[in-house]
Amino acid sequence: MHKAATPSSPQRSRWKALLWPLLLAEIGFTLVCLGAGALIWQASDRRESENALARLQASHSVYARQLDARLTAQQQHLVMLARGSRRILQSMAENTSPGVSPGLPAVLSHDDTERLLTRLLDDYDGMDALVTRLFVLPVDMREFSVPELQDDIDSSLPPYQREPVPGDVEDVTWWTEAQAPSGRLVATHDVMWNERYLARVGMEISLPRLKRLIRDETGNIGEHWLIDSAGNALMRDDASRVLPDAAGRYGMQWLEEGRQALIWDTLPSTGWRLVSRLSLPDDSAWQKALPWLSIGLILGNVLIFAGFVTVLYWRLQREEDAWQAALGRLQGWLLRSQDDTPDITTVSPATLNALLTRLEPQLGTRALNDAWDMPAWLNTLQLPALLTDGDAIVTLNPTLARLLGERPEALRDILLAEWLKPRLVDEQRRRVRVTDAGGGAREYRLECLAVHGDHSVWALIDQTEAGETLHRLRLARDQAREDARLKTGYLSHLRQELEASVKTLTTLPEVDAPHHSPQWETLRRRLEDAMLLLDTLTEEKPAADTYPSDASPRVLIVDDGPVNTLLACSVLERQGCHVETATNGEEALALAERQSFDLVFMDIYMPTLDGMETSRRWRRLERRLARRHASVLVALTANVTQSSREAFLQAGMDDCLAKPYRPGDLVAMVRRWVGNEASDT
């Protein structure tokens, strides 16, 4: 008994067969997409980082130039304050120099000097929000500052040096070390006159305000600080440790803390360096590439899945057709053994089980009765033959054993393909060359005569004897054709002689032989009866104007069918054509070498060379011989379709005629291509 499979088991098995390739394809495609996406992201991220860093460097340079311009303006104000203080202190130092300082008294007292210096400081007070205090430290005078020092806040000015600073008297000195108050930067300028030190003018800048100014200019991003030319920190204590030792006037350095960079620019007016620690923007490149990568991944997976579903559907459909065909054969076998058979319009396990249930008893009976003794049957064959089990040779029959001079079991367990390999002549036609016991070699064709289970019987058919038999048959056929042609010619010649005799009798006057008139009339009638009998035998009635002449068309009929050839010859010769015949392509090409033809009827299906190849060689022969007029080639075939017509034209043919054809079709084809020459000759 056979178990009924579930309806979905074939589909489930196909799905399982395609599941692993589908998963591998999906995983492979996903990995490829992720790899490509990672490479694209790395390239995009590097490009975006470089662009972002270039923008940050450019912005940082702008901030540094703005801060330098601010500090430069403060230094200019300090220089202007020093010049005003010098005019006041110069007048006091000279005591007599009314023309040196226009607008000032000739002699200034301490009180006048203090009043003028205080007014001068008041005029410059508030010139910049960063400046918190202005002061003047004259020689041998009290200290002046705006705003005034408060006892509860500042007891006195910081202990700045009273002696002049070595160097250019026009330079502004910045005090950034311990001499400066906490949280402030101090800039001073010495007042000199005739190489005499008069006073020191200075200003104090608030570091918190300076920091707030930098943050406002840079948009409150990152961290910023100032470092003097000696590397001392002005705004942060750890700035000197963060800046690289080999840092130049301008530069940039990537930091290990994520996507951060250290950028520094030098302020030309002071020689300080503005250092900033900035963070690059977020991974915008990945955010841009992620949607496109996701779309490509989804579309690729959908296409792969659709392709696998299509392949599965095609396989299922093909196997469904095979099942239908196999079940149809089973149903046809059952029809020969019983009346009722199940319906197989739909393939289902129930239908298959029903067919198997009906076939099991009969197949079991056949198996019991089918005890075929193939070795015994092999020994009864007169042809050289051998028995194989699968691909291995089992035994030889006596005929083949005698031919080879071997024992029947000499080739046991040798593969048939290995035994045939050195003897193969034409693998496609299964021709082998076998050397017999006497040393002679003959060609055989290997044919499978019977198959039973794994056993097969192979016979060697002698091709030499078959070729000789075929040659004798062809000679007999050609002899019969020649005899028929001779007999037809003899009969035609006899009829012409009889017709000439009848014409001669009818033209003789009766006065020349009046006593022979009744006998002559009887003779004439008997001759006319003989002519009628000859017309019936030859099936032609030649007229005086149907004999071929030198101007008659030359027609060649290439056909291996004797009936069609004889019919075409009789019809065309009646039309006054010179007719030649050939039974294959080689004969036709040999005739073409010797003479030219106006019209050639070419059969398509012939042995050796078919009509298509013969036509191609015919056209090459005409070009080689440089003939003035090309022959008209007409194909004779039973298969006339549009595609076949195009194939004929590509082979060099001009027209085609469908088989079987009537005599009128041949005549019409001749008149179409060679005109009325056939009927006018």
The H or E element that residue 132 is part of is strand 131-138
- pLDDT value for 536: 46
Q: Give pLDDT, residue 517.
A: 60
Sign of CA dihedral 84, 86, 92, 96: negative
How does DSSP assign 194-231, residue by residue?
TTEEEEEEEEEEEHHHHHHHHHHHHTS-SEEEEE-TTS
Query: Which residues, 6+ apart, have CB-to-CB distance to 341 below 8 Å?
Result: 331, 334, 335, 355, 358
pLDDT digits (tens, 9 = 90+) for 581-605: 999 999 999 999 999 999 999 998 8
Domain ranges of the chain: 13-281, 374-460, 545-681
> In this structure, which topology does domain 545-681 adopt according to CATH?
Rossmann fold (3.40.50)
Query: CA-to-CA distance for 199 and 196, rounded, in angstroms?
Result: 9
Burial (0-12, 13-18, 19+ Cβ within 10 Å), 669: buried
Looking at residue 679, what is its pLDDT? 46
Decide: residue 419, CB within 10 A, 0-12 exposed, 13-18 middle, 19+ buried.
middle
Q: Is the model's pLDDT at 657 over the cut of 80? A: yes
Q: What is the dihedral of CA 641, 561, 576, 579, to 10 degrees?
A: 100
Tens of pLDDT, residues 514-529 = 445 666 666 665 666 5
Q: What is the pLDDT of residue 100?
A: 45
Q: Which percentage of the chain shows pLDDT scores above 90?
A: 8
CA distance 189 to 168: 10
Report strand pairing: 392-396 vs 260-266: unpaired
Q: Would you say the C-alpha torsion 625, 630, 632, 637 has a positive or negative sign? A: positive
Model pTM?
Answer: 0.40
pLDDT in tens, 18-65: 677 777 877 887 888 777 777 777 777 777 777 878 888 888 888 888
Q: Stretch 360-384: mean pLDDT, rounded? A: 66
Mean local confidence (pLDDT), 295-305: 80
Indicate the Cα dihedral angle 89, 93, 97, 102, nearest 10°: 0
Alpha carbons 294 and 285: distance in angstroms, whole number: 14
In whole angstroms, what is the distance from residue 154 CA to residue 271 CA?
30
C-alpha span between 407 and 402 (Å, rounded): 8
- How far is residue 676's CA from residue 670's CA, in Å, rounded to a whole number? 8
Is residue 571 a contact partner of residue 663, using CB atoms and an 8 Å limit?
A: yes
* Cα separation, 598 vs 669, whole angstroms: 12
CB–CB of 266/279 below 8 Å? Answer: no
* Per-residue pLDDT tens over the stretch 487-509: 776 677 676 767 777 677 666 66
For the stretch 187-224, pLDDT in tens is: 888 888 888 888 889 888 888 888 888 888 776 577 88
User: In the numeric block, which tokens belong to residue 547?
Assistant: 């004999």
CA 615 from chain centre, in angstroms, equals 40
pLDDT, one tens digit per residue, over 436-464 is 878 888 888 888 888 877 888 888 888 77
SS3 for 603-659, per residue? ECCCCCCCHHHHHHHHHHHHHHHCCCCCCEEEEEECCCCHHHHHHHHHCCCCEEEEC
Give CATH superfamily name and number for 374-460.
PAS domain (3.30.450.20)
